[in-house]
């Protein structure tokens, strides 16, 4: 009998049987749960292509054993938008041409969402670059990524203030 874990993935409660306790979250998402948006890059935690949010924190899913996440809430790029309405970070990436080939984009977006929710982004480009340094873009779209994070931060702060009013 395979051990089973309970996860909430993109808002949906799921019981997942683990045939191998060494399966990573990345492989579970892509190969077992048909969520291919999280990309496999280096498979060593160095490129950030596999970034997802676990309980609101940014993690490299290629380094995270799924068996350690029983009860966790996981958000992937597929669960970020609200229906047809893009998340402010997704919209800012499109608006600011913050991707070229697009391979790293899901990880970049998830890292940016985490960075903003941590309150670490601000409007300072250097802070943003430092906070996003765990995500590599081989096409070097860093300027657009930085501008997109700045714009999304401003938009999310503005929306939070409007919601509070």
**pTM higher than 0.85 for the full model?**
yes
Q: Rg for the chain (alpha carbons), in Å? A: 16
Which tens digits make up the pLDDT trace of 43-91?
999 999 999 999 999 999 999 999 999 999 999 999 999 999 999 999 9
Q: Which phi and psi angles does 68 have, rounded to 5°?
A: -85, 0
- Name all domains of the chain by residue range, CATH numbers in brackets: 4-79 (3.10.20.30), 88-164 (1.10.150.120)
pLDDT, tens digit, 9 for 90 and up, residues 78-108: 999 999 999 999 999 999 999 889 999 999 9
pLDDT band at 121 (very low <50, low <70, confident <90, very high): confident
């Amino acid at each position: 009998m395979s051990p089973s874990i309970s996860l909430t993935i993109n808002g949906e409660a799921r019981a997942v049987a683990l045939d191998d306790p060494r399966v990573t979250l990345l492989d579970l998402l892509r190969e077992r749960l048909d969520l291919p948006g999280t990309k496999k890059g280096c498979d060593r935690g160095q490129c950030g292509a596999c970034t997802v949010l676990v309980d609101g924190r940014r993690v490299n899913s290629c380094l995270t054993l799924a068996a350690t996440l029983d009860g966790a809430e996981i958000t992937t790029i597929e669960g970020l938008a609200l229906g047809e309405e893009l998340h402010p970070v997704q919209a800012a990436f499109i608006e600011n041409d913050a991707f070229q080939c697009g391979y790293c984009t899901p990880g970049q977006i998830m890292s940016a969402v985490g960075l903003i929710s941590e309150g670490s982004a601000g409007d300072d480009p250097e802070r943003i670059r430092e906070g996003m340094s765990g995500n590599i873009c081989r096409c070097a779209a860093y300027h657009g990524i930085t501008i997109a994070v700045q714009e999304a931060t401003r938009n999310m702060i503005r929306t939070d203030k409007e919601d509070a009013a």
